[in-house]
Amino acid sequence: MYKTLTVFQEKIALVAGSTGLVGSALALKLDKYTDYSKVILLSRSGKAFINGKTENKVIDYDDLERSLSDINPDHVFCTLGTTISKAGSQKAFRYVDHDLVFALGKWALKKRVSYFGVVTSMGANAGSSFFYNKVKGEIETSLSNLDLRRLGIFRPSLLLGKRKVSRFGENVGKLIFSLSSFLFIGPLENYKGISADRVADAMIKDSFKIVEGKRIISNKEML
């Protein structure tokens, strides 16, 4: 049974992928969360800024050791992800959704962070014949093998929320989900669409639980 961690000192949170649906929701929530004294948002481009306790840090993901040498976070939230169409190829997709995430995980292990939370996907399975699910499953396996102190793996179904860049196919899916949401009950509840806010809330809540080791949080649990 989970127990809530009693917080004795403010913590530093780091978010990778803060421009996406879940990442942007996390950034807003963490900035208002009193248990964090600083929130660091990683960015590969753009001008760094500091707003209150939130800092945007421009980095080179191919050289994390140098880019983040002066950063020592307590909790790392990884929401990095793309689509094959946006990435341009399966190889480029795997680079973002596996290689960059794994590199961040290795860096977090070296920094001895107390919590690493990552968003994958419902259906993640390293043995899947579907490339997307296969890559998501492979990054779950890769991170699990790192022996991070506390690893939270979040598997949402279709993410609901307003993206900065519209995705036609995803928008159609969201419409179908919203019109038929009443059907997703009982065993089908795990397939119900979920808001990015709900996933962000679940990640923050999980980061303060004292149970060590790996946990997989399903879509149904987050709902």
* Strands annotated E in 4-147: 11-16, 36-43, 50-51, 54-58, 75-78, 115-119
The three-state secondary structure class of 207 is: helix
- Tens of pLDDT, residue by residue over 177-192, are 454 555 555 566 667 8
How many Cβ atoms sit within 10 Å of the Cβ of residue 220?
Answer: 17
Q: Provide the sign of the torsion angle of the four alpha carbons 95, 99, 104, 107, taken in this order.
A: negative
CATH class of 11-161+194-222: alpha beta
pLDDT of residue 196: 96
Segment-wise mean pLDDT, segments of 10 residues, the chain, 223 residues: 50 95 95 94 81 91 91 97 94 97 97 97 96 98 96 95 55 49 58 92 95 94 92
* Contacts with 158 (C-beta within 8 Å, 6 or more apart), sequence order: 170, 173, 174, 177, 193, 194
Please provide the size of the chain in residues: 223
Model confidence, pTM: 0.86
